Amino acid sequence: MTATASAPLAPDSRQTSLLRFATAGSVDDGKSTLVGRLLHDTKSILADAYAAVERVTRERGGAGVDLALLTDGLRAEREQGITIDVAYRYFSTPHRTFILADCPGHVQYTRNTVTGASTADALVVLVDARHGVLEQTRRHLAVAALLRVPHVIVAVNKIDLVDYAEEPFAAIEADVAEHSRRLALAITTVPVSALEGDNVAVRSERTPWYTGPTVLDLLETLPSADETERAAASGGWRLPVQYVLRPQDAALSPEHREYRGYAGQVAQGVIRVGDDVVVQPSGRRTTVAGIDTADGPLTQALSGQSVAVRLADEVDVARGDLLSSASDAAIPVKHLDAHVAWLADRPLRVRDRVLVQHGTALVQGMVTGISGVLDITLPGGTLDSSIVPGDSLALNDIGVVTLLLAQPLAVEDYGAHRHTGAFVLVDPQDGATLAAGTARAATPGTGHDGYLSI
């Protein structure tokens, strides 16, 4: 298979970094068209896929190429012209590699948006230039604030349908700026026409009043969460243990006979050989004796790298434990106060029993309190001030809950530790995911009457 008109741009491995981003927006805001435009303008579409979309567009009586068909992969999506499930796309430019989570816009699929945004470095929220900020826009911005997505791009789409006028864009930009201040989000607003290609990958001459970057300019230059954490590497480090490595040929190979490594992805900070280590939840202390990878040993490992750590002493470490720097060790807790986004059809009520999945650790838990529910329709206010009293959570609700754990977990304040502050709730009966949560571990001895501040 060959690529469209021009050959794909070859990534420069010396400069390429990875950015994960998600898209969100109300139905018919042109989200799928924007994604299709990004793929097309970055030469990321194979020739046969492009030809198929051309053929389908002609069969439907359309003119040109309906780029939205590139991303509406499911038959039901194409028939209804909507996105239903989260679709992941991979593409690259000479400057960066991207993993894109294309999320649906319907209110009933908000849980899919939570899933897509949960690992995103950036969230692109579409707003129709004719309609402005809607309730669903505020819901998506609240999700971004809840999940602490580092960067939010609001793409004011269909600027061509308001004759490329500055006034509608300026009004939406001011509205978005007010929301960004209240939710403490870093938001950049860009006028685009996904259909015509204005300011998506190429700067438009039809919006001379706009002097900011294009959407692709932002995506290529925004620092990823891993890059930001590496720049602030003076803090402590975290390594959730995914596997305990004991080579199968240890009985035959003398060099592997005593090998025991603890494998996982560095969730935060920089691990160095010789660092003092605390193993949680046991609290045992030792030091890092070595760091191994498939390409050989390292003297240090950065956030985002997958490694195996060897420890100087024979301490009991199992899958689900957390290795952390002794100078800034995580503290295991049995009570959690947290925001959760409820993703299940059945409601959540006090005294419901759940499983709490934190990294690779899975423990039993019980909901001991529901402090309130986010009312997205309230005008103004912060995420916390929009919490209203409630005693249950329904599908797509964001609420404040208290959990009691059967065993201690090293869950931390999500604001300071994005990876180790997140968890999911699992149905103990069928294993289905019930909710995504962001926690602030209660301080021992002070009760747990507060909750996460955003």
Whole-angstrom Cα distance, residue 454 to residue 172? Answer: 23
Q: With cut-offs at 50, 70 and 90, classify the pLDDT of residue 11.
A: very low
pLDDT tens digit sequence for 59-118: 777 667 777 777 665 444 445 555 555 677 888 888 899 998 887 656 666 677 777 788
Whole-angstrom Cα distance, residue 441 to residue 448? Answer: 8
Whole-angstrom Cα distance, residue 349 to residue 340? Answer: 13
Is 407 strand, coil or helix? strand
Neighbours of 272 (CB within 10 A): 14
Which helix (H) or strand (E) covers residue 25, if one does? strand 17-25
What is the average per-residue pLDDT within 293-297? 88
pTM: 0.76
* Residue 182, burial from CB neighbour count under 10 angstroms (0-12, 13-18, 19+): middle
What is the average per-residue pLDDT within 342-354? 92
Bridge partners of 403, per DSSP, are: 336, 367
User: What does the angle CA 212 – CA 152 – CA 191 come to, to the nearest 5 degrees?
Assistant: 35
pLDDT tens digit sequence for 155-177: 999 999 999 999 999 999 999 99
Bridge partners of 423, per DSSP, are: 437
Look at residue 332 and tell me whether its pLDDT is greater than 80.
yes
Whole-angstrom Cα distance, residue 41 to residue 216? Answer: 10
Whole-angstrom Cα distance, residue 25 to residue 38? Answer: 16
Q: Give the pLDDT of residue 374.
A: 81
DSSP, residue by residue, 164-220 = T-HHHHHHHHHHHHHHHHHHT--EEEEE-BTTTTBTTTB--TT-TT--S--HHHHHH
Q: Give the pLDDT of residue 445.
A: 42
Whole-angstrom Cα distance, residue 22 to residue 194? Answer: 16
For residue 326, give the nearest of 337, 311, 338, 344 by alpha carbon. 311
Look at residue 400 and tell me whether its pLDDT is greater than 50.
yes
Please enumerate in sequence order all residues whose Cβ is within 8 A of that of 274, keeping only pairs 6 or more positions apart, or say none: 287, 288
Q: With cut-offs at 50, 70 and 90, classify the pLDDT of residue 447.
A: very low
Is the omega angle on the peptide bond into residue 281 within 30 degrees of 0, that is, cis?
Answer: yes
Q: Give the pLDDT of residue 450.
A: 36
Q: Give the pLDDT of residue 190.
A: 96
| 126 or 443, greater pLDDT | 126
Question: At CB < 8 A and 24+ separation, what contacts does 441-445 make?
Answer: 441/331, 441/333, 441/335, 441/336, 441/337, 441/411, 441/412, 441/413, 442/333, 442/335, 442/336, 442/337, 444/331, 444/333
| 431 or 250, greater pLDDT | 431
Task: Fill in the DSSP letter of residue 268.
Answer: B
Share of the chain above pLDDT 70, in %: 80
Poorest-pLDDT segment among 49-53, 242-246, 367-371: 49-53
What is the average per-residue pLDDT within 130-156? 88
pLDDT tens digit sequence for 243-293: 998 876 655 666 666 788 999 999 888 999 999 999 988 889 999 999 999
Which helix (H) or strand (E) covers residue 51, if one does? helix 47-59
Neighbours of 21 (CB within 10 A): 23
Whole-angstrom Cα distance, residue 442 to residue 451? Answer: 8
Average pLDDT, the chain: 82
* Residue 324, burial from CB neighbour count under 10 angstroms (0-12, 13-18, 19+): buried
